[in-house]
Amino acid sequence: MEVTRRTLASDNAAPVHPEIMEAIASANLGHAVAYGDDPWTRSACEALAGQFGTECTVAFVYNGTGANVVGVQTALSSFNSVVCSDMSHVAVDECGAIEKLTGSKTDEVRSVDGRIDVAAIEKRLEVLGVEHHSQPRVVSVTQATEVGTVYSPEQIREIADLCHERGLYLHMDGARISNAAVSLGTDLAGTTIACGVDILSLGGTKNGAMFGEAVVVFDSELVVALPFIRKQSTQLASKMRYVAIQFERLFATDLWRRNAEHANAMARRLERELSTREGVEIVYPVEANGVFARMPQRVIDAAREEVFFYSWDAGDRVVRLMCSWDTEDEEIDRLLAAIDRAL
């Protein structure tokens, strides 16, 4: 198999970080009790307790969709709804996994720069108590958002306060939470439990892991059902140690931060350079590891031939350029050169 060139397609097109590969190999010794009752899993949970405090409960799962549906299920009955952004992964990129696995409605709120706000959420709560309507029970925010922006701690806190006043829970889809924390200059707790988040999908895959995410639950009432939900939702790994060791390596060290810092820095460089090009327009604030830019179609075509990336809104000629832990200046240079030639 030939090596494929690096792209700006997605942070999950990137390979596994060598330190994680090394960690996986180190766990490949002897027998371990299956399904998580093993020392690697305990060690990884301790690493996360170190990040979030000891009150959290962790359930490792396979992927982001799995983390989201397992996490929100801890709070949902089928007659509930999940209030979320109209760009949110849970609403538009999981082929209806929420609806299938919970029976709940995803109640999409118009987002601004990928974020939803308290006023818009509050409007959806008017139906509370009326049997004809799905009952909002969870608000889900994505941090960093699907368009590379980041909620401030104050924004998260404000949404959490509203949730808790009205008997709802706050879920955070943190597939890229490391990128958000780095962007905000906080630790992981600083944009989650410190702001009132109740349920977190903690991403590993997009930050250099091979596979695996973690559901982190901060509300003790929600944890009782967690093991059963994970199992029934097909998200319980038998050889759990190979998931756990990745999280141990990412979060017991500063690897999560190094990877995210690098990816974010590459995105900022891209933004800096692109914003000087006439004809290229940055369409969302660049606050994490993604750059969304509008360009003439012939520029898109030429640039993509040089370095692969995806369209975000083909009709509007907006493209998404995702940086990852392994993005190098080389491909950014190549991309820019191709853009300049085409402009």
19-48 residues in contact with its own copies (CB under 8 A) are: 21, 24-35, 38-40, 43
* Nearest partner of 173 among 206, 125, 209, judged by Cα: 206
Considering only 190, 227, 285, 296, the residue that binds its own copies (CB under 8 A) is: 227
Q: What is the CA radius of gyration of the chain?
A: 20
Residues 206 to 225 in contact with its own copies, rule: CB under 8 A:
210-211, 225
Q: Which stretch binds its own copies (CB under 8 A): 44-52, 130-138, 181-189, 253-261?
A: 130-138
Q: How far is CA 215 from CA 37, 40, 69, 174, 200, in A?
A: 17, 17, 10, 10, 6
| The one segment of 129-137, 142-150, 181-189, 192-200 that binds its own copies by CB under 8 A | 129-137
- Per DSSP, the three-state class of 216 is strand
Distance from C-alpha of 91 to C-alpha of 97, rounded to nearest angstrom: 9
Cα separation, 289 vs 303, whole angstroms: 19
Should residue 154 be labelled a site residue for its own copies when binding is judged by CB under 8 A? no
The DSSP bridge partners found for residue 200 are: 172, 216
| 142 binds its own copies, rule: CB under 8 A | no
Site string for its own copies, 82-101 (x = CB under 8 A): ----------xxxxxx-xxx
Selected from 13, 118, 252, 343, the binder of its own copies by CB under 8 A is: 13
Q: Is 81 in the site for its own copies (CB under 8 A)?
A: yes
Position 229 contacts its own copies (CB under 8 A): yes
By CB under 8 A, residue 276 contacts its own copies: no
Question: In this structure, are residues 197 and 172 in contact, taking their beta carbons and an 8 Å threshold?
Answer: yes
Nearer to its own copies, 180 or 209 (CB): 209
The nearest distance, CB 187 to its own copies, in angstroms, is 25
Whether the CB-CB separation of 232 and 59 falls below 8 Å is answered with no
Under DSSP, the state recorded for 193 is G
